[in-house]
């Protein structure tokens, strides 16, 4: 499919942490945006945030994204879709009911709506996760887009409710992404659009969606806040993963439309590895933030790394925000909120 440089884009779950930055990045690029939210109340804050864009930003209510035909009306008249809405929490008891089924139905449902009613749609971008890429390995490993998480779905199938919280989440992301690619393969002779999947690791940074308290932050941002503001053990400070700033991720979603060659691709968007001590070192010098043992993370052996060369090659993302920038801007955001 050709690159999409103008027109209207539907963003699902528009009031979410990542989605709100996707909306902003699209508006800044000149696109019109139709943001899907679960209720009028959920969208009220977005109307204020994006008021300066006048009629280029509109809202549509989709109460239940897992319901059949939920997006049938929302997809009409849009040129592209950014599907970011998917459950992400670590409190699920029944993984099938609370995570897997909603994730799959929401993803396949919006693709089904695009197939049936999205006559103008040229590209669909789905926000997946590196949770669908990584597996727990005994030795350090660098993962790429060729890797799939086979472990988590297998463990959940075998253990059900007894599987760990993170395994349940990883299974939901893996199965939802596989369902998206399977749908495209099954209907390739019928669809007039192509699919791009973006796979980020941990996502940190300031928020622009409504968050009244730190407890209202999404899972990754709340963990980030907790690690910087509450005491932790040396073992926790020396654990970690990989990360990306939410603003860079928002930009990646726009580039996934602007770059013709992104069509049909699965793309990891990662700034690099971290251990939590690195973030304590990067945090502003303030009594509010933990110090740990400064510099103790410099020699850490990172169990997980991602090859982000495809994001550079296909999306042109050759530079990412630094830890210092993300920590500084996150702290400024918390300060402005009175936290």
Q: Which residues belong to the active site? A: 173
In the Cβ-directed half-sphere of 37, how many Cα atoms lie within 13 Å?
24
| First and final C-alpha spacing in the chain | 46
Q: Are 151 and 173 in contact (CB under 8 A)?
A: no
Q: What is the 3-state secondary structure (H, E, C) of the chain?
A: CCCCCCCEEEEECCCCHHHHHHHHHHHHHCCEEEEEECCHHHHHHHHHHCHHHHHHEEEEECCCCCCCCCCCCCCCCCCEEEECCCCCCCCCCCHHHHHHHHHHHHHHHHHHHHHHHCCCCCEEEEECCHHHCCCCCCCCEEECCCCCCCHHHHHHHHHHHHCCHHHHHHHHHHHHHHHHHHHHHHCCCCCCCEEEEEECCEEECCCCCCCCCHHHCCHHHHHHHHHHHCCCCHHHHCCEEEEEEHHHHHHHHHHHHHCHHHCCCEEECCCEEEEHHHHHHHCCCCCCCCCCCCCCCCCCCCCEEECCHHHHHHHCCCCCCCHHHHHHHHHHHHHHCCC
Report how far residue 147's alpha carbon sits from residue 207's, in angstroms, rounded to the nearest whole number: 31
Strands 240-245 and 272-275: antiparallel
**Contacts (Cβ under 8 Å, ≥6 apart) of 58:** 32, 33, 34, 35
Other beta carbons less than 10 A from residue 205's beta carbon:
26
């Amino acid at each position: 499919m050709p690159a999409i440089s103008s027109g209207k884009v539907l963003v699902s779950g528009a009031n979410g942490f990542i989605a709100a930055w996707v909306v902003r990045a699209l508006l800044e690029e000149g696109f019109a945006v139709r943001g899907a939210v679960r209720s009028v109340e959920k969208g009220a804050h977005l109307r204020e945030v994006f008021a300066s864009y006048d009629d280029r930003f509109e809202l549509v209510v989709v109460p239940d994204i897992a319901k059949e035909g939920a997006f049938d009306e929302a997809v009409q008249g849009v040129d592209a879709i950014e599907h970011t809405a998917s459950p992400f929490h670590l409190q699920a008891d029944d993984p099938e009911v609370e995570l897997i089924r909603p994730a799959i139905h929401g993803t396949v449902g919006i693709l089904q709506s695009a197939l049936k009613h999205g006559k103008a749609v040229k590209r669909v971008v789905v926000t997946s996760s590196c949770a669908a890429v990584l597996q727990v390995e005994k030795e350090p490993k660098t993962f790429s887009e060729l890797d799939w998480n086979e472990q988590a779905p297998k463990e959940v199938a075998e253990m059900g409710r007894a599987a760990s919280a993170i395994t349940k989440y990883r299974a939901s992301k893996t199965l939802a992404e596989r369902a998206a690619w399977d749908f495209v393969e099954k209907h390739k002779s019928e669809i007039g659009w192509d699919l791009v999947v973006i796979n980020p690791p941990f996502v940190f940074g300031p928020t622009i969606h409504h968050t009244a308290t730190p407890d209202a932050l999404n899972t990754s941002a709340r963990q980030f806040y907790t690690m910087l503001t509450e005491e932790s053990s040396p073992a926790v400070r020396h654990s970690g993963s990989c990360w990306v700033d939410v603003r860079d991720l928002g930009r990646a979603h726009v580039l996934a439309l602007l770059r013709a060659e992104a069509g049909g691709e699965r793309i990891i968007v990662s700034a690099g590895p971290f251990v939590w001590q690195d973030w304590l070192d990067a945090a502003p010098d303030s009594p509010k933030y933990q110090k740990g043992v400064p510099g103790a993370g410099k020699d850490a052996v990172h169990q997980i790394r991602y090859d982000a060369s495809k994001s550079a090659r296909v999306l042109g993302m050759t530079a990412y925000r630094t830890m210092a920038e993300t920590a500084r801007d996150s702290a400024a955001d918390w300060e402005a909120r009175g936290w």
